Amino acid sequence: MTTLQSTRQEKDFLGVRNLDNTLYYGVQTLRAKENFHLSGRRIGEYAEFVKALALVKHAAANANHRIGLLDGAKHAAIANACAEVIDGALHDEFVVDMIQGGAGTSSNMNVNEVLANRALEHLGQEKGDYRHLHPNNDVNMSQSTNDAYPSAIRVGLLLAHLPLLESLSHLAATLASKAEQFDGILKMGRTQLQDAVPMTLGQEFRAMADTVSADLEQLRSLIPAALCAVNLGGTAIGTGINADPRYQAIAIEELAALSGFPIRSAANLIAATSDMGDFVLLSGLIKKTAMRLSKISNDLRLLSSGPRAGLGEINLPPRQPGSSIMPGKVNPVIPEAMNQVAYEIAGNDAALTLAAEAGQLQLNAMEPLIAYKLYDSIRLLDRAVRMLDRECIEGITANPDQCSALVQRSIGIVTALNPYIGYENATRIARLAQETGRTVVELVQSEQLISNELLAEILRPENMVAPRAVAKA
């Protein structure tokens, strides 16, 4: 039957509270909502996490039904409620702040209460009438926050990282395309911001592409290995108290089938309940990728600097006017934003690392912060990678004449002459070029240190950007 009342009463250990009867969450969620006004980010804003919470509850309900602990009507009602949440319904009912005390109990009860009240509707009962289906006794059957919540964190991260892999793959392909486009453009390589030896612009961009590809492959292989082992079935501390001996294996089997990931049981449920090492590893991989993309962004800013009074070897696509006072100034805003995302991710990693260390004995109460920082870092990095790819890399063009002019003026090409004129002569020529402003080529020709034919051969672009056998004069 459908209630006509605008409010309902729910009670817990601390007493009775009134709730708007349109709400699906219950009294324990209400208390958590009132207690935690911290990050300003609700768990409902992280769709993959909410979906994962419902997947865990669905798997648990299936397992409890299979072993005869949950009757058919309750199982069907809970399963239907879970399916709706997995499909995107009721996410606005997940209102608890991502940062919360209690090792995730508030999040676990949020999902228990939402699913229970939606399941009650499927049974034709009123919200809050937990005599017919209870958040703890039925939705949370055979579980504790301490196994359901971290298992959901892992499944949610498995879901959340897939768009990041896709965006990194596309970015690597875009950089590789630019590398091919710029292959024939000779330019100066630089070390410590000083002229080094020639290379091609294509080689520079290919190095960027391969760097992104290497991180992509590492993430692709290590994330499933780190996250697929869950402690579901361990209940409070990993001993499995209050769970049927048959439950754990069946719940894992169900979660794997529902999620589509190769979920398996952690080797030691007690260790898995308290240890956060896998999350530290994942955060470190994300930070490493972010730092590499930040370095690439720094390089793009340098290579496009000027454009007339700087290096000016490439042009970044102009995205917005760059100054409120200097007309015509266009800033490299996209790489700058990528830099700032990388710094944010580094901060997230630092906070997560401290939280992972802060666990005591059989549980880490700081798991909510760990979850928040990981989900935030993955989402931030995915958005930043897509921005960098679409708004910057795709539109980069080269300035071949500027690249060539800088090579010709550079003293760095004298390095290519070392095997032919000797280090002492090369050093002397370099010093003279620095002092007089004459080019290395002019000075070598004027002193007739080697023939013009050999000099031209040595300085052919293809001979300066790869290993070659030394042919003496």
Strands 264-265 and 229-230: parallel
Q: What is the pLDDT of residues 347-357, one digit of tens each?
A: 999 999 999 99
Higher pLDDT, 10 or 322: 10
* Cβ–Cβ < 8 Å for 263, 231: no
Higher pLDDT, 463 or 202: 202
Which of 47-51, 309-313, 434-438 shows the highest mean pLDDT?
47-51
Residue ranges, CATH 1.10.40, the chain: 410-464
**Does domain 7-141 sit in CATH 1.20.140.150?**
no
pLDDT score at 373: 98
Higher pLDDT, 432 or 94: 94
pLDDT score at 357: 96
Pairwise CA distance, residues 12 & 29, whole Å: 11
The token pair that represents 7 in the structure block: 């409010």
Strand boundaries in 339-423, DSSP class E = 397-398
Pairwise CA distance, residues 288 & 276, whole Å: 19
pLDDT score at 227: 96
Return the minimum-mean-pLDDT range out of 284-298, 336-350, 401-415: 401-415
Residue ranges, CATH 1.10.275.10, the chain: 7-141
Query: 3.40.50.740, 1.20.200.10, 3.30.1490.20, 3.90.1150.10: which CATH number matches 148-184+197-227+271-400?
Result: 1.20.200.10
Pairwise CA distance, residues 151 & 400, whole Å: 54
* Cβ–Cβ < 8 Å for 414, 440: yes
Q: Which residues are catalytic?
A: 323
Query: Which of the 8 DSSP states describes residue 97?
Result: B
Pairwise CA distance, residues 64 & 251, whole Å: 8
Residue 401 makes CB contacts below 8 A (sequence gap 6+) with none
pLDDT score at 290: 98
User: Which residues does residue 188 pair with via DSSP β-bridges, in sequence order?
Assistant: 198
* Cβ–Cβ < 8 Å for 316, 332: yes
pLDDT > 60? residue 238: yes
pLDDT > 60? residue 153: yes
Average of pLDDT values for 342-350? 98
User: Which residues does residue 315 pair with via DSSP β-bridges, in sequence order?
Assistant: 397
Task: Write phi, then psi, for 9 (nearest 5 degrees).
Answer: -105, 135
Query: Which of the 8 DSSP states describes residue 393?
Result: G
Higher pLDDT, 460 or 343: 343
pTM: 0.91
Q: How sure is the predictor about 178, in pLDDT bands with cuts at 50, 70 and 90?
A: very high
Which helix (H) or strand (E) is 200 found in, with range? strand 194-200
CATH code that applies to domain 410-464: 1.10.40
pLDDT > 80? residue 3: no
**Among all chains, which residue has been given the structure tokens 């030394």?**
470
* Cβ–Cβ < 8 Å for 450, 421: yes
